[in-house]
Amino acid sequence: MNKVTLKELAKVLNMSVSTVSKALNDSHEISDATKKIVKKFAQERNYQPNPLAKYLKLGRSNSIGVILPSIGNPFHSQIIENLHNYASQHNFNLIIMQSKDSEEIETKAIKALLNQGIDGIIISPAHETSNIELLKKIHESTCPVIIFDRINYDLDTYKIGVNNFQSGFNATEELIKGGRKKIVILCGKNIGVTKQRLAGYEEALKRNSIEVNQNYIVYCNYNNSFEEFDNDLKEKIAYLMQDRATAPNAIFGTTDTLTTRVLGILADLEIQVPAELAVIGFANTEIANSLNPALSTIRQPTAEIASLSIEMLIKLIANKKNRSQIDFQEFKLDSSIQLRKSTDLSS
Amino acid sequence: MNKVTLKELAKVLNMSVSTVSKALNDSHEISDATKKIVKKFAQERNYQPNPLAKYLKLGRSNSIGVILPSIGNPFHSQIIENLHNYASQHNFNLIIMQSKDSEEIETKAIKALLNQGIDGIIISPAHETSNIELLKKIHESTCPVIIFDRINYDLDTYKIGVNNFQSGFNATEELIKGGRKKIVILCGKNIGVTKQRLAGYEEALKRNSIEVNQNYIVYCNYNNSFEEFDNDLKEKIAYLMQDRATAPNAIFGTTDTLTTRVLGILADLEIQVPAELAVIGFANTEIANSLNPALSTIRQPTAEIASLSIEMLIKLIANKKNRSQIDFQEFKLDSSIQLRKSTDLSS
DNA sequence: TTGTAGGCGTTATCAG
DNA sequence: CTGATAACGCCTACAA
């Protein structure tokens, strides 16, 4: 209700506002004695500086906007958790927005963030060209932008993602090493990330002299409800399995959702994992270990992605000079593989 | 870089700042002609009002702070997602903080939020008395506080949670209906939420003339690493199962983590679900359906919890008058049960 | 209908 | 070492 202000403190203490302000900010031009008195009194009165006034004066709000497709999935919630940790280490706050993979919602999110006076944006864009003009304008004028995860995006800035080609390659090779050659790859939205994982998959096949079977490249529709999605995927797998001669013996899932869902579907279809079908896939969820069978996963280094994103953004925020001069880098981090029962072909 | 301000617009337009401000805010005291000119020019120059200045003037920041134990788990990320939706409908932003169940971290989070100038707080406290004095002071003076989920907390405000007693009762009865009487209950932190779910469990047993077996009430330690946690739980279950005469035939998990993890552990122990042990538990994850066997769950109504929290908080923010006069309510929402294979005892 | 002036709470500059 | 004063960008009485 009745907030204590500098002015009030000054009045009661019989000092000027500026003296009080300086004392509280530990200015060297204030005597220790005065500082002590002021600080003690401020504490007594439970004085809290008004952040808005401070930020107005300073021209910064010490908050960072984050836009990602959706908060719900494990990869993103890990990203958020880590962004949080690093941001707060630097005394920055996070304001999170989701785009739901829609350019329109993304536009709103960007505007809402600007409207909130954030100092910078960290974004995984809705798609490869979504809001590109808007982001470009913002980045070049008011507010620096950093891109993560979906880094195939034509904006000249720091980009932080994983080496999707290599990850796809490694996962596929792991299956081949186990003796599986008929490998289905499950793909989500046909965006850069997916394309590169797919390219890695194809390269691994090629290196092992296995021909790419187009029927094994399965795209799944995310826009439907969970049920429709499940039924769609189930149908596709059932169809592939029906002909003994061409039935696959392994599955590689390129997204969290695809990878975890497919296990349930295989159970429903009473397909043995890994005996009939080995399964590996991208997934950052802790649940991988609790699935039955335990799921082999490719894990993205969310902590590193987050720490680099924050670090680079803060660099840009601090460095007010012309951003067009900077030599921006693209970081492609390595993912790691956890092998569990779903690819255990030893027996 | 160079933000356009009202002052600059006014200068170029040869008008006063106030005219421009009023025109942009559609004040009735400005002629349509002037409004048109001003608005057009503002758009041309891509004028964006400085939110910090505005908020300083208006005394509000239009942002809400949220504190919860951890962002990572499905229940909380659903809560966040929903809070988000409702908040943005009211033009409020969300600033999220996690307490990691630590009072100390929670204290920091609260202070960081105040320091950011938020208009209100929505919190699920670290424990039943954490930061109680601080929150009380804040709530009664500067900034209204709403409590959700862990609502056994001695603060006079709106509280939004689920009917944990009833939920525990229903889950247990479901198992009993299926013919299972030797039911283990897995409990996490011994806080109000857990206690009530346990009380519901005990009441269901009592009503069905089943004696409570203290050995079936299993507490798990969350503070350890995932591995230790798994091993701990595994050991406890293995121990209970070893004596044929007293071995349980059902498990009720009182938290998301416990419920999903236990399936993996049972698979490891090669215990058949539901044949040997039926499993049901609290869980808000979409993955329940992909688990093997598909997991029967008690689902908390995250959308309702979120919408009520936002609604009540905004009410308090708008209503600046003395909060000590308000007749605060406690909302206890119903959870819902999804029965899947892990409790399917029909065969 | 438009303009002037004051203030929101803070920090920064400069003078005393 | 301390104090007066201006400024950050916006809004809003009140005066013209």
Q: Residues B32-56: pLDDT tens digits? A: 888 888 888 888 888 888 888 888 8
Residue by residue, what is the 3-state secondary structure of chain A? Answer: CCCCCHHHHHHHHCCCHHHHHHHHCCCCCCCHHHHHHHHHHHHHCCCCCCHHHHHHHHCCCCEEEEEECCCCCHHHHHHHHHHHHHHHHCCCEEEEEECCCCHHHHHHHHHHHHCCCCCEEEECCCCCCCCHHHHHHHHHCCCCEEEECCCCCCCCCCEEEECHHHHHHHHHHHHHHCCCCCEEEEECCCCHHHHHHHHHHHHHHHHCCCCCCHHHEEECCCCCCHHHHHHHHHHHHHHHHHCCCCCCCEEEECCHHHHHHHHHHHHHCCCCCCCCCEEEEECCCHHHHCCCCCCEEEECCHHHHHHHHHHHHHHHHHCCCCHHHCCCCEEEECCEEECCHHHCCCC
Kindly determine whether residue B290 and residue A112, on different chains, have CB atoms separated by under 8 Å. no
Determine how β-strand A336-338 pairs with β-strand A296-299. antiparallel
Contact pairs from chain A to chain B, CB under 8 Å: 139
What percentage of chain A carries pLDDT values higher than 70?
98
Rounded CA-CA distance B71/B99 in Å is 9
Mean per-residue pLDDT for B304-311?
A: 98
Assign B68 to helix, strand or coil: strand
What pLDDT band is residue A2 in, cutting at 50, 70 and 90? low
User: Which of the two residues, A224 and A118, has the higher pLDDT score?
Assistant: A118
Q: What Å value separates CA B2 and C1' C13?
A: 23
Residues of chain A with C-beta less than 8 angstroms from the C-beta of B48: 114-115, 142
* pLDDT digit string, tens, across residues B68-99: 998 888 899 899 999 999 998 898 989 999 99
Rounded CA-CA distance B204/B165 in Å is 10
Helix (H) / strand (E) element for B268: namely: helix B256-268
The edge-to-edge listing of strands for the beta sheet with B217-219 is B217-219, B183-187, B250-253, B278-282, B296-299, B336-338
Residues of chain B with C-beta less than 8 angstroms from the C-beta of A55: 52
Q: What Å value separates CA A91 and C1' C7?
A: 30
Cα B256 to Cα A299, B74, B75, B197: the distances in Å are 22, 8, 7, 13
Kindly determine whether residue A112 and residue B93, on different chains, have CB atoms separated by under 8 Å. yes
- Residue A109 distance to chain B (closest CA, Å): 9
* Residues (48-67, chain A) with CB within 7 Å of strand D atoms: 53, 56-57, 59
| Cβ contact A291:B262 at 8 Å | no
Shortest CA distance from A286: residue in chain B:
B226
User: Which of the two residues, A3 and B167, has the higher pLDDT score?
Assistant: B167
pLDDT at position B57: 86
Residues of chain B with C-beta less than 8 angstroms from the C-beta of A117: 50-52
Rounded CA-CA distance A255/A20 in Å is 56
What pLDDT band is residue B347 in, cutting at 50, 70 and 90? low
Mean per-residue pLDDT for A156-179?
A: 97
Rounded CA-CA distance B230/A173 in Å is 30
Do A164-300+336-343 and A61-162+302-333 fall under one CATH topology? Answer: yes
Domain definitions of chain B by residue range? 6-49, 61-162+302-333, 164-300+336-343
| Cβ contact B84:B94 at 8 Å | yes
> May I ask the CATH architecture of the domain A61-162+302-333?
3-Layer(aba) Sandwich (3.40)
pLDDT at position A338: 95
Q: What Å value separates CA B53 and C1' C15?
A: 29
For the ranges A296-305, B109-118, B162-171, the lowest mean pLDDT is seen at B109-118
Assign B229 to helix, strand or coil: helix
Q: At what angle do helices A302-318 and A74-89 cross, to 10 degrees?
A: 40
Which one-letter amino acid corresponds to residue A265?
I
Q: Write the residue in B2, B56, B292 that is nearest to A264 by C-beta.
A: B292
Closest to B316 (Cα-Cα) out of B197, B99, B139 = B139
* pLDDT digit string, tens, across residues B5-40: 888 888 888 888 889 988 888 888 888 888 888 888
Q: Which residue has the tokens 């590689």?
A: A252
pLDDT at position A1: 43
Both tokens assigned to B304: 């309702």
Q: What value does the mean pLDDT of chain B take?
A: 91
Rounded CA-CA distance A146/A143 in Å is 10
Best residue in B77, B91, B277, B323 to probe A by mutation, most A CBs within 10 Å? B77
A321 touches strand D (CB under 7 A): no
CB count, 10 Å around CB of B226? 12
Q: Which residue has the tokens 């739901």?
A: A100
Mean per-residue pLDDT for B213-224?
A: 89
pLDDT at position A277: 96
User: Which of the two residues, A33 and B3, has the higher pLDDT score?
Assistant: A33
Helices (H) and strands (E) in chain B, counts: 12, 12
For the ranges A57-66, A203-212, A322-331, the lowest mean pLDDT is seen at A322-331
pLDDT at position A102: 94
| Cβ contact B160:B312 at 8 Å | yes
CB count, 10 Å around CB of B59? 12
Residues of chain A with C-beta less than 8 angstroms from the C-beta of B263: 290, 292
pLDDT at position A17: 87
pLDDT at position B258: 92
For residue A156, pLDDT beyond 90: yes
Which one-letter amino acid corresponds to residue A343?
T
For residue B1, pLDDT beyond 70: no
Question: Which among A90-104, A278-292, B146-160 has the top mean pLDDT?
Answer: B146-160
Q: Which residue has the tokens 């925020």?
A: A317
Which CATH number does A164-300+336-343 carry? 3.40.50.2300
Spell out the residues 6+ positions from residue B3 whose beta carbon is closer than 8 angstroms to its own.
A142, B48, B50
Which DSSP symbol is given to B335?
Answer: P
B10 touches strand D (CB under 7 A): no
Q: What value does the mean pLDDT of chain A take?
A: 91
Beta-bridged to residue A145, according to DSSP, are A121
pLDDT at position B179: 94
